[in-house]
Structure 1
Amino acid sequence: MTTDTLRRSPFHAYHEEQGAKLVDFAGWQMPLSYGSAIAEHEHTRSAVSLFDVSHMGRVEVKGRDARQYLETLLTRRVTDMAEMTCRYTLICNEQGGVLDDALVYRFAEHWLLVVNASNRAGVLEHMEALRGDRFKVTINDTTEKTAMVAIQGPQAMSVLEPVSRDVGKLRRYGFTVKNLLLFKLTVSRTGYTGEDGVEVIMPTSLAGRAVGMLRDEAEKRGLNIKPAGLAARDSLRIEAGMSLYGHEIDAETDPITAGLGFGVTLTEPDPDGPVIPRFIGQDAIEAVVARGPGRQTLGLRLEGRRTPRQHDPVVLEGNPVGAVTSGCLAPTQPGPVAIARLRSGIEVGTTVEVGLAGGKTIVPARVCKLPFTRDGLS
């Protein structure tokens, strides 16, 4: 795909102005970094950064059957969600494999799903197939009509509090809708970095002015908000132990094996409450829970300074026991870290070996719990 055919974010002019290195990501021309990905990572952990996440899919669901439709589509119950809250969830196939992970937002009159850019087309196809003639719902892909930014870091709320007191009072996974220059913004206290902050969805026409207003507000308060790209976002999410599609999760991996059981509801619904259908893949996931998963997802802290990569083998006493799913040098950690898929039964604290560069260089590593850091705490 050439740069002429790539989709451009509504913040494209801003990226060029800031000297971003632009790359093809899921059909979008997106900023990889603005100079040093390590500096952007460290700035997010210590101050506040702005990430363009407009490539993420945004899909509205509304209609008479919207609740039951989403209960069937998503692994996590939505009936008990309060309005103006959002929730992490997954979309699975009948075999229990993950087609995508998502955030679901509950508005008063409709729902919103935020899905991964690389899976947007496949998720929409899956949603349309599920709807068929069974559910009376409208599915509206608003991705290219809206823009989305993530403002992340320990100073994020200090930047935003003067804009709106409601934003400053948001609880984690809560959101509010604000009016700005006659436009509506959805502001949720969510993120993908392991730091506090918000994600903001806005009309595309507001993108340029919104960035300028954020910078002006930060300067007034003596705060230095800087742009950060995809490379820093990836190392930040690895430190936070967060899954990425195609690495920790895929259509062959169930949520329990991936360590995402919190995103699955298997409890029986209230018999006196609304009817809640079983979700796609529930039978298969319940079977995994009943027999116990054969693999587990844990962290590794490696010796040395070399970066572990996806598929690097993990060995215990000469026997293969798993593989790295994601890894990085971890700028704010003592050394390299990795997320790994390991054989069940391997305990935290076990010393294993990782074959870097596909097994060419052997490095000791200690098995640990995830995350490596969250909200600045290691």
Structure 2
Amino acid sequence: METLKRTPLFDAHIKLGGKMVDFAGWELPIQYEGIIQEHESVRNAAGLFDVSHMGEVDVKGKDALSFIQHIITNDASKLEKNQALYTLMCHPTGGVVDDILVYKFNDEHFFLVINAANTDKDVKWLLDNSNDFNVTIDNISNKVGQVALQGPRAQEILAGLTDTDLESIKFFYCHREVIIDGVKCLVSRTGYTGEDGFEIFSPAEEIEKVWNSILAYGKDKGLKPAALGARDTLRFEANLPLYGNELSDEITPLEAGLGFFVKLDKNHFIGKDALVKQKAEGLKKKIVAFQMEKGIPRHGYEVYKGDTKIGFVTTGYSSPSLKKTIGLALIDAEYSALDSEIEIKIRKNVQPATIIKKSFYKRNYKK
């Protein structure tokens, strides 16, 4: 039996009564007090997440920018110093290797944050595609701890623990020398919940100190520790994709509705030819949003139009914020028109659903 990996905050989760589960080979909490309570805390006040399982990679060298441009769909040449970018890495076929964040420290130093389940795959992908570039690729995942402080009171809480002017950190920018309770951290105004907030990186051995300080200071301000369950319901309501659900080796960014992050007018990048061709020919499949009155759709459930199977559910929940049952599904594009009726097979029963706009929840980012 494979031993599960643990973040530096494992003992902290146990002390808080975290219900631990296997997530992509990591032993992580699915909930503490409860998914709904943690979800609502983030929407109304703030939540603190352990995301130390995420992967981090340093890319350095005189060809760092041109290498990054080669492997990502978005355009890193537009980045300012200490600015971040959401993007995808694609296979030559157009399918997604991973969706990642790219931070530019300077033209010769980029910092990548990658999905925990894909860390080994991604690092191999980076190394395999770096032969023509003068770069070094360093997987520093084990050296870095990361927590995410998310919610409308996130800035108020963090401001009580640092002298850094957090107002100066704009959306998708970072400050690399924020001192939190004596620990030097990289703090970025990013997150995965649809709310304002920060992702905080420190040396792995010091992240527990940061975690404890934030939780203690924020306790009287409505802050709760939040876990994987709430992280998924929050990101889903904000229509943020999850690799393995809305994205995969077989699903392209265009099919996932992420064309904004694919700059086809950029010079060559891996997967560009396939994506140009797919756009020109028209999409055969699309991710759509749907709403239903009965049943709870789950990942992998089949989608039908009459007797014809047209796709599968990628994510589905009874939305805590919206009080509605909603989902996302990858279906044949010919059936994807708004207000169209489809059916979701839930166990042995088929339940009706209606295709709706993807804007489930209005994101509350601080621009």
1:302 aligns with 2:302: no
Deviation at 1:283, TM superposition (A): 0.3
SS at match of 1:192: coil
Distance in 2 (CA, whole Å) between partners of 1:129 and 1:374 is 40
AA paired with 1:90? L
Distance in 1 (CA, whole Å) between partners of 2:90 and 2:231 is 25
1:202 aligns with 2:192: no
Distance in 1 (CA, whole Å) between partners of 2:296 and 2:29 is 22
SS at match of 2:312: strand
Distance in 2 (CA, whole Å) between partners of 1:292 and 1:11 is 46
AA paired with 2:100? A
Distance in 1 (CA, whole Å) between partners of 2:342 and 2:364 is 27
Identity level (%): 36
Question: What does residue 322 of structure 1 align with?
Answer: 311
Residue from 117, 136, 139 that aligns with 2:134: 136
Q: Which string of whole-angstrom CA distances, capped at 9 and with x for unpartnered residues, describes residues 167-221 of structure 1? A: 23322211111242664311111111111111111111221211222134324xx
Q: Which string of whole-angstrom CA distances, capped at 9 and with x for unpartnered residues, describes residues 308-352 of structure 1? A: 012222223443332211111211122211111122242112222
Contact persistence 2:41–2:222 (CA under 8 A): no
Distance in 1 (CA, whole Å) between partners of 2:164 and 2:45 is 21
Distance in 1 (CA, whole Å) between partners of 2:222 and 2:182 is 27
Question: What does residue 225 of structure 1 align with?
Answer: 223
Distance in 2 (CA, whole Å) between partners of 1:267 and 1:284 is 14
Q: Which string of whole-angstrom CA distances, capped at 9 and with x for unpartnered residues, describes residues 103-127 of structure 1? A: 0001135111111111110111111
Q: Which string of whole-angstrom CA distances, capped at 9 and with x for unpartnered residues, describes residues 223-273 of structure 1? A: 1211111111111111111111111111111110111111211125xxxxx
Distance in 2 (CA, whole Å) between partners of 1:265 and 1:195 is 26
Contact persistence 2:287–2:329 (CA under 8 A): yes
Question: What does residue 373 of structure 1 align with?
Answer: 361
Question: What does residue 283 of structure 1 align with?
Answer: 273
Consecutive unaligned residues of structure 1, counting only runs of 5 or more, are: 269-276
Question: What does residue 212 of structure 1 align with?
Answer: 212
SS at match of 1:30: strand
Q: Which string of whole-angstrom CA distances, capped at 9 and with x for unpartnered residues, describes residues 81-120 of structure 1? A: 1111101000111111101000000113511111111111
Q: Which string of whole-angstrom CA distances, capped at 9 and with x for unpartnered residues, describes residues 267-326 of structure 1? A: 25xxxxxxxx4110100000011111111112111112x320122222234433322111
Contact persistence 2:176–2:185 (CA under 8 A): yes
Distance in 2 (CA, whole Å) between partners of 1:323 and 1:12 is 35
State the TM-score, normalized to the length of structure 2. 0.93
Contact persistence 1:21–1:35 (CA under 8 A): no
SS at match of 1:107: strand
Residue from 341, 344, 348 that aligns with 1:351: 341
Distance in 1 (CA, whole Å) between partners of 2:102 and 2:123 is 15
1:10 aligns with 2:8: yes
Contact persistence 2:215–2:225 (CA under 8 A): no
Consecutive unaligned residues of structure 2, counting only runs of 5 or more, are: none
CA 1:164–1:266 in structure 2 vs 1: closer, same or farther (change >3 Å)? farther
Distance in 1 (CA, whole Å) between partners of 2:96 and 2:362 is 24
Question: What does residue 324 of structure 2 align with?
Answer: 335
Residue from 27, 32, 51 that aligns with 2:49: 51
AA paired with 1:336? T
Question: What does residue 349 of structure 2 align with?
Answer: 361
Deviation at 1:56, TM superposition (A): 0.6
Contact persistence 1:174–1:188 (CA under 8 A): yes
Residue from 264, 267, 272 that aligns with 1:266: 264
SS at match of 2:260: helix
Q: CA RMSD of the aligned region, Å?
A: 1.8
Contact persistence 1:51–1:151 (CA under 8 A): yes
Count of matched residue pairs:
361
State the TM-score, normalized to the length of structure 1. 0.91
Distance in 1 (CA, whole Å) between partners of 2:45 and 2:99 is 28
AA paired with 2:204? T
SS at match of 2:165: helix
Question: What does residue 274 of structure 1 align with?
Answer: none
How do 1:85-100 and structure 2 match up within 5 A? 85-100=83-98
Deviation at 1:160, TM superposition (A): 1.9
Q: Mean Cα displacement is larger for which, 311-320 or 149-158?
A: 311-320
AA paired with 1:66? A
